[in-house]
Amino acid sequence: MNWMLLAASLAQDPAAPAPPPQEPVLKTLVKQVTLGGQARFRAEYRDLLAYTDLPASREDDDLYLSRLRLNFTFSVGDDIDVFIQPQDQRIFGDEASVLSDETNLDLHQGYAEIRRLGIDELSVRIGRMELSYGDQRLVSPLDWSNIARAWDGVKVRYAPAPVRIEAFATVIREGAAAEDDQDFYGLYFSFTGVKDHEFDLYVFGRELNDNLQPSETVPAAVNDRRDWTPGARFKGKTAGFDYTGEGMLQRGTVGEDDVKAWAAAATLGYTLDIDGKPRLGFEVTHASGDPDPADGEIETFDPLFPFGHFYQGFADVFAFKNGRDVVVNLRVSPLDALTVQVDVHAFRLDEKVDAWYNFAGAPIRRDATGSAGDEIGNELDLHARLAVGKHVKFWGGWSRVFAGDYVEDTPGPHGDMDWFFLQMTVDF
């Protein structure tokens, strides 16, 4: 008998017991894998390009940006998740040629989160993560940016309803030596025990050991900055009204100088209970400036990591820093999928001899004499959002800055500015 043929026939016998199934390797490591992401594309056009001294050939500019994010959530168990979010961001035509391969791909977020850490309400997150607190006036991931912010560190959350307490410690930059490190940390307390209201207390701290902070006492010297920003916030709504209020102090040192600054913001809105749900809103913000740039006291408020593009106008020519901004806005939804909003801003400096800063906190101009006054100008923002189905959203608008006397009376471009944008996002 041909024993090889017999063995082959037995192997194909359907009555023979089948080998045990092999579990996929990934399935043995995690309980569930969730995949998602977003593709975002935006076109922008600006004229004037900026209120700084620029060649005439650079008075206007256009940009085309793209951002692709993939979200991977690996559920290791009921209480352990690993989240990974790679991101590719680029500006069309920014590479040297179509054969270029520049490093635009990075890890935007990547962290492990452990819940019910001994008790049900306690969790910890470790890794690279976005941070967002309150109305994002001081701490925001700045999602408008093509890159957006993320911090490396650890965050602990304790949330027995109606209380939420979060503490975090992050590294902004790890210098070549320990004395060059930059760190950001904070403690945030929130109470939601009153219906439709929220009450927050917080303190944020920074150690900028970079020898880059200008000194008032010794103008030619640069120093480290260490500061604390405590604050309080409330938010609520009732009978068609919505309102917020927030105030914060800033104390610390820059070399031998003392930091003594403050800021505040308040909003009030009313929504009519009719078709379109029109809302009329009012907002005022005030961030201190420095009346004497040589007295050894730094009184210019620094808004940490704000959502600058959102609050002080879409044209990005003003900051929550040495400034007062009064805003009136109207929002209406003529269709369920369409929202239209118009905002009118009035920009003024807090201290005339301090600088005029852009949304990133960088100085645009400074009139050391104060003779140019405080009237930066006004801004009109008109924008609309349209949802096409569940996954596609469009957002576009036009902003015009009407230059004020300060712009006219200081060196540099002084005309009005127009800015247009159109953005599409696809969520999956």
> How many whole angstroms separate alpha carbon 276 and alpha carbon 9?
76
Q: How high is the pLDDT of residue 20?
A: 58
Confidence of residue 1 (pLDDT cuts 50, 70, 90): very low
**Cβ contact 290:264 at 8 Å:** no
Q: Which residue has the higher pLDDT, 32 or 175?
A: 32
Closest alpha carbon to 36 in 76, 72, 66: 72
Q: Kindly report the average pLDDT of the chain as a whole number.
A: 90
- The proportion of the chain whose per-residue pLDDT surpasses 70, expressed as a percent, equals 89
Q: Where are the domains of the chain?
A: 31-427
Q: How high is the pLDDT of residue 97?
A: 75
Confidence of residue 141 (pLDDT cuts 50, 70, 90): very high
Burial tier of 156 (Cβ tally within 10 Å: 0-12, 13-18, 19+): middle
Residue 24 has pLDDT above 90, yes or no: no
| Pairing of the two strands 197-214 and 182-191 | antiparallel
Sign of CA dihedral 167, 173, 176, 180: negative
Mean pLDDT to the nearest integer, 100-127: 92
Q: How high is the pLDDT of residue 43?
A: 97
Q: How high is the pLDDT of residue 9?
A: 46
Residue 10 has pLDDT above 70, yes or no: no
- The proportion of the chain whose per-residue pLDDT surpasses 90, expressed as a percent, equals 75
> How many whole angstroms separate alpha carbon 53 and alpha carbon 332?
39
Q: How high is the pLDDT of residue 206?
A: 96
Q: Which residue has the higher pLDDT, 360 or 200?
A: 200
* Local structure of residue 244 (DSSP, 8 states): E
Closest alpha carbon to 384 in 395, 369, 371: 395
**The most confident of 2-11, 102-111, 334-343, by mean pLDDT:** 334-343
Mean pLDDT to the nearest integer, 269-293: 96
**What do you get for the CA distance between the two ends of the chain, in Å?**
62
Mean pLDDT to the nearest integer, 39-62: 81
Please give the class, per CATH, of domain 31-427.
mainly beta
Mean pLDDT to the nearest integer, 320-326: 98
pLDDT in tens, 198-253: 999 999 999 988 777 777 777 666 788 999 999 999 999 999 999 999 999 999 99
- Phi then psi dihedrals of residue 180, to 5 deg: -100, 0
Amino acid at 223: N
> How many whole angstroms separate alpha carbon 274 and alpha carbon 282?
20
> How many whole angstroms separate alpha carbon 20 and alpha carbon 343?
66
**Cβ contact 407:376 at 8 Å:** yes
CA 60 → CA 48, 57, 307, distances in Å?
5, 8, 25
> How many whole angstroms separate alpha carbon 329 and alpha carbon 381?
9
- Residue 161 in tokens: 């309803």
pLDDT in tens, 163-179: 999 999 999 988 766 66
pTM for this model (two decimals): 0.89
SS3 324: strand
Confidence of residue 4 (pLDDT cuts 50, 70, 90): very low
Confidence of residue 6 (pLDDT cuts 50, 70, 90): very low
> Residue 353: enclosing H or E segment and its boundaries?
none
pLDDT in tens, 81-109: 999 999 999 998 887 777 777 778 899 99
**Cβ contact 236:274 at 8 Å:** no
* Torsion angle defined by CA atoms of residues 340, 423, 400 and 280, in that order, rounded to the nearest 10 degrees: 20
Q: How high is the pLDDT of residue 339?
A: 98
> How many whole angstroms separate alpha carbon 428 and alpha carbon 426?
7
Mean pLDDT to the nearest integer, 259-271: 98
Q: How high is the pLDDT of residue 414?
A: 86
Confidence of residue 50 (pLDDT cuts 50, 70, 90): confident
Other Cβ atoms closer than 10 A to 204: 23
Question: Backbone dihedral region of 371: left (phi > 0), alpha (psi from -120 to 50 degrees) or beta?
Answer: alpha
Other Cβ atoms closer than 10 A to 173: 12
* Range in 203-207, 373-377, 411-415 with the lowest mean pLDDT: 411-415
Residue 390 has pLDDT above 80, yes or no: yes
- Phi then psi dihedrals of residue 319, to 5 deg: -135, 165
Residue 17 has pLDDT above 70, yes or no: no
Q: How high is the pLDDT of residue 313?
A: 95
Residue 16 has pLDDT above 60, yes or no: no
- Residue 95 in tokens: 């590479």
Residue 346 has pLDDT above 60, yes or no: yes
> How many whole angstroms separate alpha carbon 305 and alpha carbon 406?
27
